[in-house]
Chain A
């Protein structure tokens, strides 16, 4: 009896140690880089050195893109001998893990992310500038603008996302000419909730931003270089938008009760004819058997309703031991047309490289999003945007729920102003 339980206890200890070991062990890229140090250029003749001598790259990728990137990485390894290790990470964890563990041993060399992280990553000293040189001309303007922060490029862009209007062509055969036209058409078709856009208890300012721009109220102004300037808060110009939002809340056309799931459900069941959403929801809508068309966002005013552009790309870890290989991987490989096209095929999001984007736009859905994003501006990446997001959504939700529009909006502006001034 005694011996057995003793052993069982020891077995448990051994198993737990194994777990602890695997957690501590990390990716082991440190070992790889030290081995590459020792293999000095002894042989000058071999142009295709074995992979071990060329070192390896650890790339953190969000779990949805991991499989697509694995193929791409395998090709790169074949060409250069640099082993690329793809580590799949949960989308909402990548940024935090990168900032906290980036400088530690075994951290990633390259990290997939979004342009609105740049301000935070630069402030934490974790992202390295990438010099694109003349190659920057090959990318779309909005992609380069979004990847640039304080005059330097910190991200190699690969895709550009923006919101657009998905339309159920059976319920609404024509693209709406304005917001009111859209609601009127849908109501005529006998729908109780013709238009859905995801909100929630704390609001969703990203999805309401197109309407806000239609009232001429961006968040921040830009300085002479075209960079967002935190000292120019233009949110205060949005009082007319606040009034409009209040009306929509009362009429029920936009509601905090509609979460992302409810919006998707209503559109999939044909209870809503229009859905303001991004390319990530196209597959779900098509899978539900809805015939869709992608239109520009209908404006409630005579100005265009411009959404935010979100640019996806790759960062290089400032504290990586393999920055040269990482730069080569990004600039001379990910930034080329065949790779961007390949990434597009798996993600169905418009490529950042113009040549690949033109190819991709043969698909009417992609072309639709591209057209809807014609006026799109990059979401500000400056750290001050954090304060805005902290207060923006709840204020909009409060207005939709019936709070006084003018007062709530003005409170929002003063609160953000105060927080930025601190």
Chain B
């Protein structure tokens, strides 16, 4: 199953044609590299043009950190490719850039998220959350009329020119001046202009739309009368604010009840009686996600169960695929067998099949009443392959065996062929049976070269998301668990469910899980590699 490099079969470079040195000398008449040099200039120019575009976009969005990083990186790349020499750097740079973008950044960001409460209700920054709370708590005064409205300006001051729907009187107000009666020209019940103020066209309104959208005009000196706002620049409505924000104290106050909400330190406003206002914002919560994973009852139980199954799944996958692969390799390693090449080719077929596709096809074949297994192989039985907890586990392992044995077959075949035949012959001369020769001579030698691959295969299967997600989706559901976890869920598919399904997303917790998985896999790999080294020394 692992996609790591296959052993043996190193891409043997074609032997250099003998004519080559001669040809190179002949090419000298044009100078060593004028054509490539021009091409290089063009490519560097293209790259710089793209960087310039990106820098301009970043400038517009005032993203100074990214701006700086891009600028420095682009300058470095220019220097590396335009300077003579520095050949290693020329080769390494693309790889390093990709490594930084796709590996290091992802890793660092996952670690960062694991220590925050980034989850449903905590996706914003604090100022954004305050804005959303204030906006959500603007309530239109019940049974209040709609005001036909014209946006007017005097200098830089903006105001609303409205007609009181009850009295028919034109009124003008600004942020600092409550609505007062004015003389105005009224057409179709809408005050269109008044002396001393300029009426804005729709295009002009759009040019200042944020200012106008947030413009609050008091209806009278009495704050209880509410304020006039417009959302589309044409009609005004009377609103009262349910919450008011004190920027200095950093508190929100419920204007009707008088309840004061303060920053509780956990990314939300909390009242003294413990009521929380949503939306909250994303903050650093230290190691809370990790402690939750191990202490919260609803998470710990399923997590333990899933961890055990993940180990079982990875170990059994490696054991079964290796067992079958090695058996077939030994059988097909017999020289002089007819059609050996054809058998070997057929054997490798599943390896050439995309794993996720195979999983989907197998899901159909496992179907209880329409599937191939029950209908054709078992003559119309109705075995609940994917519905029964135990059978589903077996089904997953069977699919993984089918997917994984060709790899092990290839690996073992290569390793067996590299073991000198003399060893076996010598053993037989000493009176060893075929089984003894295999068990005591060939198998240990095989293990030396294959063991690191087995460890890699274990690590791969530990995080084998495709097979689980595409075949069972982690199901059947564990009806007793408090979180939606299934019987065949492995850790990585559990992480996916925590982060990306349902209405309650918890990205912070999922990131913490990923780090835990990383630690487990890393520890196991290090320990096993150490032990493999010992194996080598013995031999």
Contact = CB atoms under 8 A, between A and B. Distances in A.
Contact of B128 (A40, A53, A262, A319): A319
Interface stretch (B43-51, B460-468, B487-495): B43-51
Given A7-B36, A7-B43, A125-B128, A202 B93 contact: no
B94 A9 contact: yes
Interface in B122-155: 123-125, 128-129, 131-133, 135-136, 138-140, 146, 153
Contacts of A328: 232-234
Size range of the interface on B?
Answer: 35 or more
Interface string A9-46: 11111101110110011101011001011011100101
B54 A24 contact: yes
Contacts of A360: none
B508 interface: no
Interface in A387-422: 387, 389-391, 394-395, 398, 401, 411, 415, 418-419
Interface stretch (A95-103, A299-307, A364-372): A95-103
Contacts of B123: 99-100, 103, 124-126
B455 interface: no
B394 interface: no
Contact of B57 (A6, A25, A126): A25
B516 interface: no
Interface string B55-75: 001001101001000000000
B482 A128 contact: no
B202 interface: yes
Q: Is the interface of A mostly helix, strand, loop or mixed?
A: helix
Contacts of A30: 57, 60-61
Interface string A71-112: 000000000111000000000000010011001011000000
B131 A325 contact: no
Contacts of A291: none
Given A81-B203, A99-B123, A34 B60 contact: yes
Contact of A331 (B232, B479, B505): B232
Interface stretch (B205-213, B328-336, B352-360): B205-213
Contacts of A324: 205-206, 209-210, 212-213, 230-233
A11 B477 contact: no
A321 B210 contact: yes
A133 interface: yes
Interface residues of A, number: 91
Contact of A325 (B136, B201, B206, B477): B206
Contacts of B484: 390-391
A151 interface: yes
B488 to A, nearest CB: 12
Interface stretch (B248-256, B363-371, B408-416, B423-431): B363-371
Interface string B92-123: 01100110010000000000000000001101
A120 interface: yes
A394 B479 contact: yes
B369 A383 contact: no
Interface string A146-163: 000011100000000000
Interface stretch (B168-176, B305-313, B496-504): B496-504
B231 A120 contact: no
Contacts of A44: 198, 201, 204
A150 to B, nearest CB: 8
A123 interface: yes
B57 A82 contact: no
Contacts of B231: 130-131, 323-324, 327, 331
Contacts of B139: 151-152
5 contacts: A7-B40, A12-B94, A81-B203, A319-B128, A401-B387
Given A3-B33, A81-B206, 12 more contacts: A10-B44, A14-B47, A16-B98, A46-B203, A123-B121, A125-B136, A319-B124, A323-B210, A324-B205, A327-B232, A395-B479, A418-B482
